[in-house]
Amino acid sequence: RDFMRREVQPIEAECLATAREMGADWRQWHVLPAVEAAKAKAREAALWNLFLPDAELGAGLSTLEYAPLAEATGHSLIAPEIFNCNAPDTGNMEVLYHYGSEAQQAQWLQPLLAGEIRSVFAMTEPEVASSDATNMQASIVSDGDDHVLINGRKWWATGLGHPNAKIAIVM
């Protein structure tokens, strides 16, 4: 709470005003210097990757221990990013942590955990109730050469407009 009062709340109005000035075009996200500075301070204060229960990669908190922190940071539009605990990155990091190969973790998870890159989550499809993951129409087919072909359309991809988005989890 002290960090929120000292570092996050003082820059919120400036960040929101800057976002309003830039307009609502999702293709033109900007990395705000004030947010990047606060992220560096959060990392230094060991307030980084609080969501991840692995003490070597995150804070080592259980879901129950993390819940009040998520609630406190959730009152702010910028705090989750400052603590590297924002969607869609947290869910994508958890997928890579639990199911990614060593190579995928080195290439994607480590830079996500470091806050060097951002991720995209693509699930919403036209003409289906896309909040139900069992209802997806997109398919993935192996070409037999360590590559896959993704067939389908996505209506929305969370995080796609961020300039540091480098990986997408496609449902």
pLDDT digits (tens, 9 = 90+) for 28-71: 778 889 999 999 999 999 999 999 999 999 999 999 999 999 99
The answer to whether 155 and 130 are in contact (CB under 8 A) is yes
Residue 26 binned pLDDT confidence (cut-offs 50, 70, 90): low
Asked if residue 76 has pLDDT above 90, the reply is yes
Asked if residue 10 has pLDDT above 90, the reply is yes
- DSSP classification of residue 108: I
The answer to whether 81 and 39 are in contact (CB under 8 A) is yes
H-helix or E-strand spanning residue 41: helix 33-44
Q: Does 88 sit behind a cis peptide bond, omega within 30 degrees of 0 on the bond before it?
A: yes
Q: What is the pLDDT of residue 125?
A: 87
* Helix, strand and coil in the chain, % to nearest 5: 45, 15, 40
State the Cα–Cα distance between residues 34 and 69, nearest whole angstrom. 21
State the Cα–Cα distance between residues 156 and 118, nearest whole angstrom. 16
pLDDT digits (tens, 9 = 90+) for 90-123: 999 999 999 999 999 999 999 999 999 999 998 8
List the chain domain ranges.
1-86, 87-171
Q: What is the pLDDT of residue 2?
A: 94
Per the CATH hierarchy, to which homologous superfamily does domain 1-86 belong?
Acyl-CoA dehydrogenase/oxidase, N-terminal domain (1.10.540.10)
